[in-house]
Chains A and B, each alone.
Chain A
Amino acid sequence: MPEQPIDVLDAYRQSAGLSHGELWLRYFELGGMSTGFELETFLYGLVAPESHDHDVIAHALNERFTELGRDHPVAYERDERDERDERDSLDS
């Protein structure tokens, strides 16, 4: 699997044309609980967010991409995990 850059979320933020402050506000709007400083550490890949937090950030970015007429490029973690769980329960 190709290695992803450590600050992949921040690259998405830049491509979405959002400042850190704007992205934090959108994340907060969706129920995000982390501070702006913590959010920056997640974006730069210095600290890994919990899957739930990751998905809130991913969704804040994806809603912005929708506004820009683009697809949803940022993957969700819990979807993948849930699909894995479903596959596992079907296998067993």
Chain B
Amino acid sequence: MTANPSSFDVITTTQGQSTVLALRGRVEHGAAFELGALLDSVIERHPDELVLDLSELEFVGAAGMVAISNAEKRLSDLGRALIVRSPSVLVNRLLDMMEIAEETRRELALPGHGPLGPEEEGVPSTARDEPLPSPSSSDPRRVMALPAHPDVVDGALRLVVELARAFVGGADGVSVSLLRHGVLSTVAASDQTILAMDADQYATGEGPCVDASLQGHWFHAASLETETRWPSFTPRARALGIKAIMSSPLNAFEQPVGALNIYSRTAESFEIKDQQSAAVFAQKASVILSDAGAGVSETQLASRYKEALRSRKVITLATGIVMEREGIDEEDAFSALLRQSLSHGDLLRDRAQKTVLSARQPEVGPGRDSDA
């Protein structure tokens, strides 16, 4: 933490009908109010378009994200657009989370490419003449999910907790539990009561948080007064004034690795839309965890890569066999395999396996598919 943690600069420029705010530095908790006031003052002047250029921004906390989200709401009420230019991977994820009710346009930075203009077309149907960005990008995280440092992940999850608390109706406290080395612990909690709530569940070995983390299902205790599923834990929660709990599983590489827990001091306080918001936050937090390779041991990761290599090899072999049989090129052969797998309802690798096996038994003859 620096002596002046909340320092950020803003450079305001006008480009045609757009007002561009380039943020530089760190927007920590104390500076969020300042950022909000600045955005309000710009919005007062009704720009056609407000561009937030984050390429020089080092850090933005949850309060800053909320200021950006509020600005977006005000602009969208005015029928104007907010464009966020060059957000970092993390900011981009957080913006994804806050898109529950609204849409923000994102312009991601690409090396050697200017940000896309607002008039850019939809998905192009013909190949463009733009060169591919350099494949020698040195960021290994972009190539495959490698485990990130736990501190980075915990920091991101703390932001998720703050955001969920601010956005989910009925939420009085939020926490994230994670399984690390087989042990469940709280990595982010909005206050001490919530921390105690989680600890009570770990101690009794029961509760929605434990069940969601281990079973990978969603648990909702609408009223702890009438709840019977967790007899040891429930009285402890009631003693701390907690009346309702929602726990959504967090998954990485399709396995449960933890839970997003939302607590309320009022029974029946989570409405359908709040339950949906909780599910969205949990899904986005799962993406952060997956990207970070959380909960996946190196052995599991290695075996997953081995499996992928095996499938790839079978598919390549099958493509070669179809090329030889049909006298077609590689891409047509792949398309033919793809169509076969779709028409038979097989996974592509299973279809490819059948093709490879059929090539080993040529005397069986006409049994092979002719719909290629």
**Residues on A facing B (Cβ under 8 Å):** 3-6, 8-9, 14, 17-22, 24-26, 28-31, 34-38, 40-41, 44-48, 50, 52, 55-56, 59, 63, 66, 72, 76, 78-79, 82
Provided the pairs A28-B312, A52-B331 are in contact, do residues A35 and B135 lie with their beta carbons within 8 angstroms? yes
Interface size on B, residues (CB 8 A): 52
Question: A31 contacts B312, CB within 8 Å?
Answer: yes
A6-B122, A44-B108, A45-B123 known; A30 vs B133 contact (CB < 8 Å): no
Set of chain A residues within 8 Å of B315, measured between Cβ atoms = 29-31
Question: In the docked arrangement, what's the CA distance between A17 and B216, Å?
Answer: 14
The verdict on B120 contacting chain A, using a C-beta distance below 8 Å, is yes
Between-chain CB contacts (< 8 Å), 8 pairs: A19-B145, A22-B253, A28-B312, A29-B311, A35-B135, A35-B143, A38-B135, A55-B335
B126 touches A37 (CB 8 A): no
- Minimal beta-carbon separation of B101 from chain A (angstroms): 16
Q: Could you tell me which residues of chain B, from 174 to 228, have a CB within 8 Å of some CB in chain A?
A: none
CA distance A16 to B305 in the complex (A): 20
- Closest-CB distance, B287 to chain A (whole angstroms): 5
Contact status B123-A6, CB under 8 Å: yes
- In Å, the complex CA distance between A43 and B134 comes to 16
By a CB distance below 8 angstroms, the chain A residues around B133 are: 37-38, 41, 47
Which B residues are in CB contact (< 8 Å) with A44? 108
Among A6, A28, A34, A37, find the residue whose CB has the most chain B CB atoms closer than 10 A: A37
> What are the 6 closest A-B residue pairs judged by CB atoms, nearest first?
A21-B145, A19-B290, A36-B143, A29-B308, A37-B137, A3-B122
**Which B residues lie within 8 Å of A50 (CB)?**
127
Of A20, A29, A34, A79, which one neighbours B312 at CB under 8 angstroms? A29
Judged by DSSP, the binding face of A is helix
Q: Contacts A29-B312, A29-B315, A63-B348 given; 7 further ones with Cβ under 8 A?
A: A6-B116, A6-B123, A14-B283, A21-B144, A31-B315, A56-B334, A76-B338
Docked pose: A48 CA to B130 CA in angstroms:
9
Chain B 327-348 interface mask (CB, 8 Å, partner A; 1/0): 0000100110011001000011
**Interface set, chain B 58-107, CB cutoff 8 A to A:** 96
Q: Does B291 contact A (CB under 8 A)?
A: yes
In the complex, what residue of chain A is closest to B290 when comparing beta carbons? A19
Alpha-carbon gap, A46 to B106, bound state (A): 12
Q: Nearest Cβ in chain A — how far from B298, in angstroms?
A: 15
- Per-residue CB contact flags for chain B residues 110-144 toward chain A (1 = under 8 Å, else 0) read 10010010001111101110101101010101111
- Known contacts A6-B123, A31-B334, A47-B128; decide if A37 and B135 are in contact (CB<8 Å): yes
- What CA separation (Å) do A66 and B188 show in the bound complex? 34
Complex CA distance for A34 and B133, rounded to whole angstroms: 11
Determine the residue in chain A with the shortest Cβ distance to B134: A37
